[in-house]
Amino acid sequence: MTDVQVQSPAPEQKPSGGKSNTTTIVIVIVVVLVLGIGGWLISRYLAGRLAQEATEGIIGGIIDSKVDLDSGGNVAKVTSDDGSFEINAGGKWPSDMLSEVPEFTAGVIEASSKSTIDGGAGWSLSFTKVKAGAYESYREQLLGKGWSETGTVTTDSKISNMENDNYYLIFTVNESDSTASLIVTSK
């Protein structure tokens, strides 16, 4: 007897669908991109945050005070047992400015600062793009709010020194370079 082996026909192989391979490749690319971009963003955030905390620690150690920098780099605040000092690059009129100091709107705020010490407060603002005639107009507004003028100086700049019962104020405009400054301090 002879053994006869019968081979069964091989199963028919269908070509794999190009659609599933393409989908797999697209998914892999999307995952790699998301992880890559996410990792880059996270590393930038962490690096920035670490640099900020290191800077706060170094400055705070030098001046023996607490220092807080915002993550955008526009605000720096130093706090000690005696008081605080905060500086802002650009921005808005201080929300806690005295009501008897009208908002100066004839220029763009370039920087502002606020300090507090022993219960007193002081503000300093610098302006650019100051419009012609701003000195006279704002001076009149200040006088209308009850400030008394204690002196004026006119050189390349126009300077008005004023006071009320609790505060001193110095307002300066340099029309040749379209800048101004305003300083308000406790007596």
Q: Write down the residue that tokens 């405009």 correspond to.
A: 173
User: What are the phi and psi torsion angles at 161 (to 5°)?
Assistant: -100, 130
Give the pLDDT score at 59.
Answer: 52
Segments making up each domain of the chain, as ranges = 17-63, 82-186
Q: Tell me the torsion sign for CA atoms 40, 42, 46, 49.
A: positive
Give yes or no for residue 48 having a pLDDT over 70.
no
In the chain, what percentage of residues exceed pLDDT 70? 55
Question: Mean of the pLDDT values across residues 136-160?
Answer: 95
Range among 56-70, 109-123, 158-172 rated most confident = 158-172
Give yes or no for residue 72 having a pLDDT over 60.
no
Give yes or no for residue 57 having a pLDDT over 50.
yes
Q: Which residues contact 101 (CB under 8 A, 6 or more apart)?
A: 123, 142, 145, 169, 182, 184
* C-alpha to C-alpha distance for 124 and 184, rounded to whole angstroms: 6
On whether the CB atoms of residues 147 and 100 are closer than 8 A, the answer is: yes
Give yes or no for residue 5 having a pLDDT over 70.
no
Give yes or no for residue 47 having a pLDDT over 60.
no
On whether the CB atoms of residues 112 and 124 are closer than 8 A, the answer is: yes
* C-alpha to C-alpha distance for 116 and 47, rounded to whole angstroms: 32
Query: Average pLDDT of the chain?
Result: 75
* C-alpha to C-alpha distance for 104 and 171, rounded to whole angstroms: 10
Give yes or no for residue 85 having a pLDDT over 90.
no
* C-alpha to C-alpha distance for 129 and 113, rounded to whole angstroms: 19
Q: Tell me the pLDDT tens digit for each residue of 88-123.
A: 777 789 889 999 999 999 999 998 888 888 888 899
Give the pLDDT score at 150.
Answer: 95
